[in-house]
Structure 1
Amino acid sequence: MYNEIVERFIKAQESAGAAYRSVASFERETLAGIAQHAHAVDVRSDYSTHRELESFCISLAGNVVNRARREFAPAGTRLDIDDATEREHAGLNIGEALDAGRVPDIDGLWASLHARYGGNGGKELAYQQAGQRIIKGFSLNRRKDVQRTASAVVLRLRATSEGCYGRSTRKLGYYSCQHAADCLQGLMAFAAKAGHQALAIGLGRLNVHTLEYSYREKRSFPGLDIVFFKDAWDFKFSHQIAEELMLFIGEYGAVFMEDQS
């Protein structure tokens, strides 16, 4: 499937090259009296054509890995896999194949991804990655005590904020955005797996790049309140949600938490 796309692209390059050479030849025959540099039709070099083909193959391979990220991840989360690592695991070296006059085996890349992440492979890895995001987000380890109150279990996310220009609200600082986004993504994966769809949807609507909030402002979701401070967000989970979250972390993040300890 993917290899045929490459083959058709190569044929399109060949057809286009032949068409441009024909036009260039006609111009030079028709306007034989003008200087070479004055001709309008330019024929691309073999080097330029080769670079275009290589760039196209790299882009197509990237689309294949993106497809795996979407199709093999469970709903409500994402699968973090690296393009270069997956190409290497599949034995796909695009430049080497093209230099040898072969069509890069991008079908083989998809087969490799399907073998690695199809079935439950991608789901298990995605949940493990979600568990790691939660652990890192809240700096959890086996020696850290979790704050418990009569009504909630409180986990703190370090999130440095800054004032919004011309307004009394605050927003996340640049270096805290990805940290907060990763933690929220992990929580969304947990909530979706645990069947708390409303919580997962609510967390998904928190765009860390555009979110503005006031000091000590509270945002409420089913089973969770988030309170915003200057340099932290407090996540106040109901006891039921907290218990399910700890089970999720225990199942998918235990090894990572041990490393953190």
Structure 2
Amino acid sequence: MNHFIYCMEQYWASYKDLMLQQARERLELNHRYKVELAMGGEAAPVEPSSENAARIAQDAIEAGAGWLIQELLAHAVSVFSPNPVTPLDLDFQEVADRLGYRVRSASFQPADLWRALEAKYGDGIGHSLAYQKRAESIGKYFSLSEGSEVPTKNGCMHLTRSIHYVEKSYSPPRLGHSESETLSLQVLPALASFATWAGMPGLAGNIASLVPHFGYPAGVKSRETFNLGSVHEGRIKLVTYQTSFEWTFEPAVAEPLTLFLGEFYFAPLQAAA
């Protein structure tokens, strides 16, 4: 058991004991109050039971379980992700459903849930899933399919994304909300993840710096050029038009990108077919 889970186990046991103790104290306080009232002619109160204490404590215990499960999943993301740029996506309810685990339950045991997460995402499985999601974002954005011919010139890969959702009533025209979110929240982070995987931290940083620029509302200037990366690592050039975005990947970037997509996008598609 790792140190994080050990500490959570200890905390969880103490937390449940504390909630039960507080519930018993509340019941005892209410009991004494009713005893005092009974001395003035009221009906004699019923002695509080352990069952009542457990019932009163249940809401607090379930809330604590929900919070701790969230903490545990956040820890799982840090452990099972390949790097901070490529976090594994773990949805609270989805994970609970897939693992058949009861959330917000007094029967929650951190070590049990952790073992289930290790079985599902350990041994590099989480790394592959995180990269597959990023590769899928890139592949779908550029409408890539295995075996299709990608335009190249002088070893450079040229990819064009048609832009259909532009709000032209603004000056400069704005990317539509959906188009902007796809680019800033999915594609650019995915390309940064690829660059990190390929050992190009400078390029990854340059790509990540574009995220705020294309966040909604993002103006689109025709023929605006963004040069990303360096001669040492390899470069990507993005030229924006009001009807399309044109991407050029130098050979030093295009070659590992082809490998990345082959391993994490096309191969999983073949396996699922």
TM-score range, shorter chain: 0.7 to 0.9
Q: SS state of the match for residue 139, structure 1? A: coil
**CA distance in structure 2 between the partners assigned to 1:232 and 1:7 by the alignment:** 58
Task: Say whether residues 1:108 and 2:108 are aligned partners.
Answer: no
Q: Contact (CA 8 Å) 2:175, 2:220: kept in 1 or not? A: no
User: What residue in structure 2 maps to residue 41 of structure 1?
Assistant: none
Instruction: Quote how far apart the aligned CAs of 1:259 are.
Output: 8.5
User: Deviation at 1:108?
Assistant: 1.1
Partner of 1:70: 78
Superposition pairs for residues 2-17 of structure 1, below 5 Å? 2-17=8-23
Question: Any conservation in 2 of the 1:10–1:53 contact (CA below 8 Å)?
Answer: yes
Identify the residue that residue 89 of structure 2 maps to in structure 1.
Answer: 80
Q: How many residues align?
A: 246
- Residue 53 of structure 1 corresponds to which residue in structure 2? 61
Does the residue aligned with 2:161 lie in a helix, a strand or coil?
strand
**How far did residue 171 of structure 1 move?**
4.0
> Separation in 1 of the partners of 2:14 and 2:241?
57
Q: Structure 1: which 5+ runs fail to align?
A: 34-43
1:229 aligns with 2:247: no
Tell whether 2:178 aligns with 1:175.
yes
Instruction: Find the aligned partners of 1:88 and 1:224 in 2 and give their Cα distance.
Output: 41
Aligned residue among 108, 121, 125 for 1:121: 125
**Shift in Å, 1:48:** 6.2
Give TM-score scaled by structure 2 length.
Answer: 0.74
Residue 191 of structure 1 is matched in structure 2 by 195
Q: Could you say if the C-alpha distance between residues 258 and 234 of structure 1 is closer, same or farther in structure 2, counting changes exceeding 3 Å?
A: farther
Instruction: State the shift of 1:140 in Å.
Output: 0.5
Cα separation, 2, equivalents of 1:13 and 1:118: 34
Partner of 1:18: 24
SS at match of 1:253: helix
SS of equivalent residue, structure 2 residue 143? coil
Query: d(CA) in 2 for partners of 1:4 and 1:174?
Result: 46
2-side partners of 1:226 and 1:244: how far apart? Answer: 18
Deviation at 1:110, TM superposition (A): 1.1
Specify whether residues 46 and 160 from structure 1 end up closer, same or farther in structure 2 by C-alpha distance, changes over 3 A only: farther
Identity of aligned residues (%): 21
Alpha-carbon separation, structure 1, partners of 2:16 and 2:164: 51
TM-score when scaled to structure 1?
Answer: 0.76
Q: Which amino acid aligns with 1:66?
A: A
After superposing the two structures, state which structure 1 stretch, 6-15 or 193-202, moved more.
Answer: 6-15
Is the partner of 1:57 in helix, strand or coil?
helix
- Residue 252 of structure 2 corresponds to residue 240 of structure 1: yes
Residue 227 of structure 2 corresponds to residue 220 of structure 1: yes
Deviations 1:207-259, CA, capped at 9 Å, x for gaps:
34357343222221110112223354322211221122111111222234558
Change (3 A) 1:124 1:146: same
How large is the RMSD of aligned CA atoms in angstroms?
3.4
Following superposition of structure 1 onto structure 2, how do residues 37-48 of structure 1 map, counting pairs within 5 Å? none
Mapped to 1, the partners of 2:90 and 2:129 lie a distance apart of 10
